[in-house]
Amino acid sequence: MRITIFALGLLALAPTASAQPEAPAPAPAARPHATYTLETPIHTLMEDPVTLAWLDRHFPGMSARMRDPEVGTLFDGVSIQGLSIDPDHGRALTPEVMAKLAVSLEKAQADAAGAKP
């Protein structure tokens, strides 16, 4: 008797053919594009087409070298800012050059954001 009542209770809870289908869940809001800076690791900059183009324009050949497994491992997590303070790699990255690079990187990202529909 208890099983019959339990089964009838389950049937009452089951959706019927005339039940309205559930509306699909709304899509999550688009995540805003990350803002990259000179402190962003170079490998991260290389993952974005906009900042990869920026890297290739200002540091020709760097992205190709960073794809080399040995070089990539040595510079894993290193940023342009990190290169600027390294005595071997950052001699040309003076504070004035770094300021110009920062403005250029911001502009490249802003231009790309403005171009998207």
Q: Total domain count for the chain? A: 1
Q: Is residue 7 part of a domain?
A: no
79 domain-assigned? yes
Distance CA 71, CA 56 (A): 17
Q: Tell me, yes or no, whether 82 lies in a domain.
A: yes
Asked if pLDDT for residue 106 goes beyond 60, the answer is yes
Crossing angle of helices 49-58 and 95-115, rounded to 10°: 140
In this structure, is residue 53 part of a structural domain?
A: yes
22-34 average pLDDT score? 55
The mean-pLDDT minimum among 1-5, 15-19, 22-26, 44-48 falls in 1-5
Residue 6 lies inside a defined structural domain of this protein: no
In the predicted structure, residue 59 carries a pLDDT above the cut 70: yes
Q: What would the mean pLDDT of 23-27 be, rounded to a whole number?
A: 58
Tokens in use for 3?
């099983």
Question: CB–CB of 41/77 below 8 Å?
Answer: yes
In a domain, 17, yes or no: no
Residue 40 falls within a domain, yes or no?
A: no
pLDDT in tens, 90-102: 889 999 999 999 9
Domain that holds residue 71: 45-117
The answer to whether 107 touches 53, Cβ cutoff 8 Å, is no
